[in-house]
């Protein structure tokens, strides 16, 4: 099972929602925070549709996509000049950025709050500010952690500056490197623990 949270207005008194097309029981857990426990998705993707009602009975509809991953979505690091870059590719970069940020926070690294967009489709339009936000998010992970060998610094995008397959490879490879090194740090924690008399297992 997986627990999902939705932050809604304080005026909301009742919520009806579905997750991946199945009705979900959302309950108020804190002011403005509604939670639901739903079956775990095999791909970590949860499509949430909520109708929120205020005390006057006025409904407001919210649709969003939430990801809860156990590992990175497989990065694509072999882009060529013959490939097409689609909405789901930039979604994957942002989904993986969010996952790596959460992973580093669990290791007690101070990752600033970030904004992610993970629901692009064929009709979506990304502006320069959006791709710069993606670049800055990844750079913030590196700044708070380390720059792994092979990490390539961010680009700052301006009008008429072209995005190429090399940039696609750079974004995904940078995330992959940060995650791999963070995973090493976590594994090293396991071996650097201490034992107390009479205890079995490792402490970390």
- pLDDT tens track for 158-189: 998 999 999 999 999 999 999 999 999 988 76
Alpha-helix runs per DSSP H in the chain: 87-106, 128-144, 165-191
Q: Please indicate, yes or no, if residue 78 is contained in any of the structural domains.
A: no
Domain count, the chain: 2
Count Cβ neighbours within 10 Å for each residue of 20-50 and write b for 16 or more, e otherwise. Answer: eeeebebeeeeeeebebebeebeebebebeb
- pLDDT tens track for 8-65: 989 999 999 999 999 999 999 999 999 999 999 888 889 999 999 999 999 999 998 8
CATH code of residue 54: 2.60.40
pLDDT at res. 200: 53
pLDDT at 197 over 80: no
CB atoms within 10 A of CB 187: 11
Q: Please indicate, yes or no, if residue 76 is contained in any of the structural domains.
A: no
Mean pLDDT of 85-107: 95
Please name which of 150, 141, 148 lies closest in space to residue 180, comparing C-alpha atoms: 148
Q: Give me the half-sphere count of Cα atoms (radius 13 Å) on the Cβ side of residue 179.
A: 23
Structure-token pair, residue 41: 């998705």
Q: Please indicate, yes or no, if residue 74 is contained in any of the structural domains.
A: no
Quick one: 6 and 45 in the same domain? yes
Quick one: 181 and 93 in the same domain? yes
Q: Please indicate, yes or no, if residue 202 is contained in any of the structural domains.
A: no
| Structural domain harbouring 127 | 87-190
Percent of the chain's residues with pLDDT above 70: 92
Mean pLDDT of 119-131: 91
What DSSP designation does 145 have? S
Percent of the chain's residues with pLDDT above 90: 76
Q: How confident is the model at residue 195 (pLDDT cuts 50, 70, 90)?
A: very low
């Amino acid at each position: 099972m997986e627990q999902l949270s939705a932050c809604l207005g304080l005026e909301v008194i009742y919520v009806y929602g579905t997750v991946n097309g199945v009705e979900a029981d959302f309950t108020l857990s804190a002011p403005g925070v509604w939670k639901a426990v739903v079956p775990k998705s095999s791909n970590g993707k949860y499509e949430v549709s909520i109708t929120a009602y205020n005390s006057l009975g006025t409904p407001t509809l919210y649709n969003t996509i939430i990801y809860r991953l156990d590992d990175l979505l497989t990065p694509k690091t072999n882009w060529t000049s013959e490939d097409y870059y689609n909405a789901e590719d930039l979604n994957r970069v942002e989904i993986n950025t969010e996952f790596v940020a959460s992973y580093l926070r669990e290791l007690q690294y101070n990752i600033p709050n970030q904004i992610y967009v993970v629901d692009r489709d064929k009709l979506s339009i990304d502006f320069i500010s959006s791709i710069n936000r993606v670049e800055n998010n990844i750079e913030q992970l590196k700044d708070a952690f380390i720059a792994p060998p092979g990490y390539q610094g961010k680009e700052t995008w301006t009008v008429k500056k072209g995005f190429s397959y090399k940039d696609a490879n750079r974004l995904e490879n940078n995330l992959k490197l940060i995650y791999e090194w963070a995973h090493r740090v976590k594994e090293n924690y396991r071996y650097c623990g201490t034992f107390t008399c009479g205890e079995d297992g490792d402490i970390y």
